Amino acid sequence: MDIFSIITILIVLSAAFAFINTKFLKLPFTIGLMIIAIAFTLGIIVLGKINHFFIEEAELLIGSIDFETALLDVMLSFLLFAGALHTKLDSLKAMKAPIAVFATIGVVLSTFLVGTIMYYVFMVFDHEIDYIYCLLFGALISPTDPIAVLGILKDANAPKKLEVKIVGESLFNDGVGVVVFLVIFKIAQKGIGAMDAGEVGLLFLEEVVGGIGLGLVTGWLTFRIMKSIDHYETEVIITLALVMGLSGLAHYLHVSGPLAVVVAGIFIGNKSPTIAWSETTNNYVDKFWELIDVLLNAILFVMIGLELLIITASGEYLLFGLIAIPVGLIARYLALAGPVAIFDKKLDFIPKTTLMMAWGGIRGGISIALALSLEPQMERELFLTVTYVIVVFSIIVQGLTIGPLVKRVLKKTDYSD
């Protein structure tokens, strides 16, 4: 199936599902699309039992989509830039220390906690898996997905103090999570003895520091270019060129593209509106990236729903998925508890911050894309099924309940700011 046909089908399905959700279900946008897409896929499976034509056409579509490439190499940069562009630096400044700890040490701790616990879970069920592969699973499931988090938190009306922590962490921890995953992936490929601690540390620093540095430089250069003109059409095109060019350049330089895009987006979103852009330009840039964000979100969650067709739904795999749900939540809670305790008194965190951040850490497409990138000997089919179970639970159950949880916890306390 050619690329134009694939894009056409995905956009038509996205528009249809969005209409059904808006008109009838009235659920938060990402959650509604996810539920409808899964229901649609289950309907295709049922129809496929009657007539193989339906299932064959659906499998042809899914088989034609390289989910990993589509998300990690194409969609992720646009979605992260759109989110970063609207993230105000004033809000992040006060929380920069805890956000940095959450997005780095928190991700690494969660990776080892999930990997270690699941290693022993598999042993208990006589399904022994190499520890390094369990760590790979820990790395791919630990970062929260800013694509899912941003939309769901808006609908949940979370307090600003909580939203800044979760959104700020999510914007950065997916970039760090991808780096951690890539480091462990290389160790798994070469063998634990093939890479020493210094080499691992250097690779991590190169990806993280290099990505942040590249984002600052390109963000500043783009800001200066836009400051020298006043033509909104050109400036919108420049922001689009920045995202696409920055992704390719980061890949060429072997630094973290997601981190580079986030840093550039935050820089431009905070400097340009008052210095480089006219009011007209600011309005058009804002609306353009808001539309990109909505469109790609719709396509992404339709794709996640359709991925159900390639999941190995064996009873054993589904059981491991159900066990991994509380394991992931407990690991995230423990990884956040230390930093929250350290910064609590200084920054006046709202009550039950650790609980709400743990439950509000939605997993999404990034985890599925990383699971799809695993090699067959790394228990790819098992970890893909487990990841899919966690993502569906995370988006639907956690996404629908984070709002009521926030309201219940803060019911007797005024933390509306």
DSSP one-letter string for 254-278: TS-HHHHHHHHHHHHHHHHHHHT--
What are the pLDDT tens digits along the chain (417 aa)? 889 999 999 999 999 999 999 999 998 888 899 999 999 999 999 999 899 888 888 988 998 999 999 999 889 999 899 989 988 888 778 788 899 999 999 999 999 999 999 999 999 999 999 999 999 999 999 988 766 666 666 666 677 777 788 888 888 888 899 999 998 998 898 876 666 778 888 888 899 999 999 999 999 999 999 999 999 999 999 999 999 999 999 999 999 999 999 999 999 999 999 999 999 999 999 999 999 988 998 999 999 999 998 888 899 999 999 999 999 999 999 999 999 998 887 777 888 889 988 998 889 889 999 999 999 999 999 999 999 999 999 999 998 898 888 878 877 565 555
Task: Report the pLDDT value the prediction gives residue 150, as an integer from 0 to 100.
Answer: 65
- Give the closest residue to 227 by CA, choosing from 214, 216, 238: 238
Q: Considering Cα of 282, then 168, then 67, then 57, what sign does the dihedral take? A: negative
DSSP state of 349: P
- Give the closest residue to 230 by CA, choosing from 264, 272, 266, 271: 272
Domain range 67-409, CATH architecture: Up-down Bundle (1.20)
In degrees to the nearest 10, what's the CA dihedral of 258, 264, 267, 271? -140
In degrees to the nearest 10, what's the CA dihedral of 46, 49, 53, 58? 40
Residue 243 half-sphere exposure toward CB, CA atoms < 13 A: 24
Cβ–Cβ < 8 Å for 134, 118? yes
H or E segment and range at residue 312 = none
In degrees to the nearest 10, what's the CA dihedral of 220, 221, 224, 226? -110
- Within 8 A by CB and 6+ apart from 201, the residues are none
Task: Report the pLDDT value the prediction gives residue 155, as an integer from 0 to 100.
Answer: 65
Q: Can you tell me the distance from the alpha carbon of 235 to that of 284, in angstroms, rounded to the nearest whole number?
A: 9
Helix, strand, coil share (%) of the chain residues, nearest 5: 85, 0, 15
Task: Report the pLDDT value the prediction gives residue 4, as an integer from 0 to 100.
Answer: 93
pTM of the model: 0.92
Neighbour count for residue 27 (Cβ, 10 Å): 18
Task: Report the pLDDT value the prediction gives residue 415, as an integer from 0 to 100.
Answer: 54
- Within 8 A by CB and 6+ apart from 56, the residues are 48
- Give the closest residue to 314 by CA, choosing from 400, 388, 393, 413: 388
